[in-house]
Amino acid sequence: MKAILPAGLWNGLRRLWEGLRGAKSALNRIYVRFFGPYYCPLCGNKAAGFRPLAKELMDMYIQYGCLGGRFTGELFSPGQFSCLHCGGMDRERLVAEYFLRRLGENKPGPNFRLLEFAPRPAIGAFLRKNFTLQHETSDLFMPDVDYRLDISAMPQLKEAAYDAWICLHVLEHVPDDASALRELYRILKPGGFGALLAPISLTLAATDEDPGAPEEERWRRFWQGDHVRLYAKADFAARVKAAGFTVHELGLDYFGRKCFEKLALPDTSVLYVVER
């Protein structure tokens, strides 16, 4: 067709086509932003979907047989794992939704102290955007945190110092999780609460743990090379209660099916909210 059309007309048609393609792309972005079926409470964006788990990690899971069977996780969305806008992970979306519900109407003041372990950028941005509170961070290895601490022993932190804390996927790395749970209880104010999550198998009858296992064996047994255990559901709750906490298992009945669908979470998802 190019050969039989004048050059000027051909170039005009090409620019028109490119303009239409650009307009379609812009309309798609608008649709996704305002009418997408999914929603991220961390950043407030709607989306047509979430980003799947990184290919490198998924390949490791496939290599070591970490999907299905005894590795059926309680809260895990590998196909809809992280937000396209803020990068927030599946478990972080559930925590953000809970904080909006618990603190949304009666927002805490500037004296409300919250400590986040192994801090994540999406959670930090979410807290700054939605609340006026003291957000402090702690980790044993990460740079740029407020406290470089071993969660199993935190003498630098006073008893009953915090109104709340967030501890997501930390305990599975800790050889002595009982000491860590006692410390988490000690630093929490009476009446305070914590958001607690760890990898939990829905098919294990008992927690499988071995801090001395080699890395390859840890992949096969605990889902990751730096994990020291894989929790069984009932045992996880029992260990948390043994530290003195009151434990609330908030799942589909609390959040609602519509919420889980919009956050792209499986129906088995549970957030463990503990109180002193």
Residue among 77, 113, 109 nearest 266 (CA): 77
Amino acid, res. 118: A
State the average pLDDT over residues 53-68: 86
Q: Which CATH homologous superfamily contains domain 49-275?
A: Vaccinia Virus protein VP39 (3.40.50.150)
pLDDT, greater one: 37 or 21: 37
Residue 118 has pLDDT above 90, yes or no: yes
Percent of the chain with pLDDT over 90: 79
Residue 114 has pLDDT above 60, yes or no: yes
Strand partners, 73: 201
Residue 70 has pLDDT above 70, yes or no: no
Name the residue ranges covered by the structural domains of the chain: 7-35, 49-275
* pLDDT per residue as tens digits for the range 193-221: 999 999 999 989 999 999 999 999 999 99
Amino acid, res. 154: M
Residue 22 has pLDDT above 80, yes or no: no
Question: Could you tell me the pLDDT band of residue 64, with boundaries at 50, 70 and 90?
Answer: confident
**Which of 34-38, 68-72, 164-168, 203-207 bottoms out in mean pLDDT, i.e. has the lowest?**
68-72
